[in-house]
Chains A and B, each alone.
Chain A
Amino acid sequence: MEANNNDALVIGGVSLTSRLFTGTGKYGSDTIIPDVCASSGSQVITVALRRVDTNAATGNVMQHIPKHMQLLPNTSGARNADEAVRIARLARAAGCGDWIKIEVISDNKYLLPDGYETAKATEILAKEGFTVLPYVNADLYIARDLVNAGAAAVMPLGAPIGSNRGLKTKEMVRILIDEISLPIIVDAGIGAPSQACEAMEMGAAACLVNTAIAASGDPVAMGRAFGEAVRAGRAAYLAQTAAVSTGTADASSPLTGFLGGM
Chain B
Amino acid sequence: MGFSDLLSQYDTLDMAAYLAGVTPADVERVLAKHSITPLDYLALLSPAAEGMLEAMAQKANGISMRHFGKTIQLFTPLYLANYCTNQCVYCGFNTANKITRSQLTAEELRKEAEAIAATGLKHILILTGDAPAKSTVEYIGDCSRILSEYFSSISIEVYAMTQDEYAYLIDKGVDGLTLYQETYNRSLYKELHPKGPKRDYDFRLDAPERGCMAGMRTVNVGALLGLESVWQRDAFFTGLHADYLQRKYPATSIAISPPRMRPHVGSYEPASIVSDKNLVQLVLAQRIFLHNVGITVSTRESAQLRDNMMPLGVTKMSAGVTTAVGGHTSDDDSTAQFDISDPRSVDEMCRAIESKGFQPIFKDWEPF
Which A residues fall within an 8 A CB radius of B? 144, 174, 178-179, 240-244, 253-256, 258-259, 262
Contact = CB atoms under 8 A, between A and B. Distances in A.
A261 to B, nearest CB: 10
B142 interface: no
B366 interface: no
Given A179-B247, A243-B28, A262-B276, A256 B34 contact: no
Contacts of B349: none
Interface in B41-57: 53-54, 57
Interface stretch (B119-127, B132-140, B201-209, B304-312): B304-312
Contact of B54 (A241, A242, A243, A255): A255
Interface residues of B, number: 22
15 contacts: A144-B250, A240-B33, A241-B29, A241-B32, A242-B28, A242-B29, A243-B31, A253-B54, A253-B57, A255-B311, A256-B57, A256-B280, A259-B53, A259-B276, A259-B308
Given A242-B29, A259-B308, 13 more contacts: A241-B32, A241-B33, A242-B32, A253-B54, A255-B58, A255-B61, A255-B312, A256-B53, A256-B312, A258-B304, A259-B277, A259-B280, A262-B275
Interface of B: 28-29, 31-35, 53-54, 57-58, 61, 247, 250, 275-277, 280, 304, 308, 311-312
A179 B308 CA distance: 32
By secondary structure, the A interface counts as loop
B100 to A, nearest CB: 37
Contacts of B275: 262
A255 B57 contact: yes
Contacts of A241: 29, 32-33
Looking at A174, A258, A259, A262, the one whose CB has the most chain B CB atoms below 10 A away is A259
By secondary structure, the B interface counts as helix
Contacts of A253: 53-54, 57
B317 to A, nearest CB: 17
A144 B35 CA distance: 19
A207 to B, nearest CB: 19
B34 A174 contact: yes
A50 B33 CA distance: 45
A243 B26 CA distance: 10
Contacts of B304: 258
Contacts of B35: 174, 178
B331 to A, nearest CB: 32
B315 to A, nearest CB: 16
B263 to A, nearest CB: 19
B138 to A, nearest CB: 37
B274 to A, nearest CB: 12
A165 to B, nearest CB: 22
Contacts of B28: 242-243
Given A174-B34, A178-B35, A262-B276, A256 B29 contact: no
A178 B246 CA distance: 12
A94 B61 CA distance: 58
B29 A262 contact: no
A241 B28 CA distance: 10
Contacts of A262: 275-277
A258 B276 CA distance: 10
